[in-house]
Each structure stands twice: as C-alpha cells, then as structure tokens.
Amino acid sequence: QGQLVESGGGVVQPGRSLRVSCAASGFSFSSYGLHWVRQAPGKGLEWVAVIWYDGSKKYYADSVKGRFTISRENFKNTVYLEMSSLRADDTAVYYCARDWQVGKFDIWGQGTMVTVSS
Amino acid sequence: EIVMTQSPATLSVSPGERATLSCRASQSVSSDLAWYQQKPGQAPRLVIYDASTRATGFPARFSGSGSGTEFTLTISSLQSEDFAVYYCQQYNNWPPWTFGQGTKVEIK
C-alpha cells in the first residue's frame, strides 16, 4: 500500500528557514505527485504545495507562495519542503500526502511539527 | 478559490445511531469531492472519493452522496471507532485544493 514518513520539524525563530522531508516506501514513488498539507494546532487542514510526479509542475498556496519551495529526488524516494521567512502563523503539523488521480490524497504520513517562535 | 463549508461544526450522536454530515461548495465541483476521517493525534484517512465511492478499509456503513455543490456523508450506525473529525475536500478546480473546516462527531 505504501508509506510516507516526514522528518525535519522543530522549533525555529521567526524569519529563519527550515527544510522538512518526506521519505516514501512501498510504492513506485516516481509515478506519483506529492502534496504538503498543514494543520495548525486545533485547526483544520490547509493545502500547502504539490509537485508533479516528474517535478515538471509545482503549485503553492497563496499563503506560502514566494517563501516555500517544494522539490523531490526520485532516486531517493524523497520530497522536500524548504520553508523560508517563517512566521508564527506557519506553526503547524506538516503532512505529506500522495496524490491519486490529481487531487485525492490516498496515503498520508504521520506529520512533522514545525513551531515558529522566538 | 472554491470555499468548502461543513455543517454542523459538532455532531453529538449515540453509538448505533445515524450521523449525517453536510458539505457545501461555493461553486459546482461536479463529483470531485472526498471525505477524510481524522482521529486525535493521527493523520487524516481517505474515507470517500468521487463523492460516493468508499475507500479501501472502510465498511459499508459509510456512504457518500451528492454532486454539484451539496454533499453528504452518512454513517448509518455509529461505532466507537467512528468518533472523529471529518473533512470534505474538493479536487475539481485547483490550485488550491480546498478543505472544509471539519465536523467533529462526538459521543452523546
């Protein structure tokens, strides 16, 4: 069925950068798009970014455009989210999710917590 | 951007009873609608896709209906493991992919 495992979260000061990773196993990684979805404490789900299976297309939420960059290394079965100019409202659990048929999220990781605080 | 609105915010239901959750889209999303279940401390899980197709691992007591702008998730006889937060999500018009704010199904 497949598995996704996020890593790299932590506490970071406002204005600084952080990169989180998502490692995949159990499926043909290079055949699927991958999304990042976040969830602020006690709040709902917010889509953040997506990268196509071959890296040819990337889309971002307006709230992170220009600050976050999604990338992938298919030979490592890993997708990344580079976050810069972090703000307090970026504090959230960041999930990666596999894209199925352009927009359904059929496999999710367990999430990694990012806290932006001085 | 398509705005998804769920109601009610909280639904109090006794085990064995039926739960009916609603989701409304700000414009038509055809049948490009999914439902996710999220339990405390866990990642979301896909429950229903294409408005009415059950995902792997979910029993027949879960059903989805609707098209266009109005959708419903029905859990016919609530079991203890069904108490959770449920989110609807559209994938018809993107980016962005948008979620509703969630409905918490709690024990009455």
List, as one string, the DSSP characters of A76-111.
Answer: GTEEEEEE-S--GGG-EEEEEEEEETTTEEEEE---
- The pLDDT of residue B61 is 97
What are the tens digits of pLDDT across the range A68-110?
A: 999 999 999 999 999 999 999 999 999 999 999 889 999 999 9
Backbone φ and ψ for A114, nearest 5 degrees, come out as: -115, 125
Q: Residue range A24-41: average pLDDT?
A: 97
Up-side HSE of residue B48: CA atoms within 13 Å toward CB?
A: 29
B43 touches chain A (CB under 8 A): yes
Q: CA separation (Å) from A87 to A11, A42, A91, B65, B96?
A: 12, 18, 8, 39, 21
- In a mutagenesis test of the A interface, which of B30, B39, B97 is the best target, namely the one with the most A β-carbons within 10 Å? B97
What's the average pLDDT block by block, 10 residues per block, for chain B (108 residues)? 98 96 98 98 98 96 98 96 97 97 95
The C-alpha atoms of residue B22 and residue B8 are separated, in whole angstroms, by 7
Over range A23-45, report the average pLDDT.
Answer: 97
pLDDT of residue A58: 98
CA distances in angstroms from B79 to A16, B56, B61, B87, B100, listed in the order given: 45, 18, 10, 18, 23
d(CA B92, CA B22): 18
pLDDT-based confidence at A1, cuts 50/70/90?
Answer: confident
Put simply, whether A61 touches B (Cβ < 8 Å) is yes
Three-state DSSP at B82 gives helix
pLDDT of res. A102: 83
Whether the CB of A103 is below 8 Å from some CB of chain B: the reply is yes
Q: Which of A90, A84, A98 is nearest to A34 (CA)?
A: A98
3-class secondary structure, B80 = helix
CA distance B86 to B17: 17
Say if the Cβ atoms of A108 and B45 lie within 8 Å: yes
Q: Quick check: A65 pLDDT over 90? A: yes
Computed on alpha carbons and rounded to an integer, the radius of gyration of chain B in Å comes to: 13
Q: Is B35 on the interface with A (CB under 8 A)?
A: no
pLDDT (mean) for A16-44: 97
Q: What is the mean pLDDT of chain A?
A: 97
Which chain B residues are closer than 8 Å to A106 by Cβ? 46, 49, 55
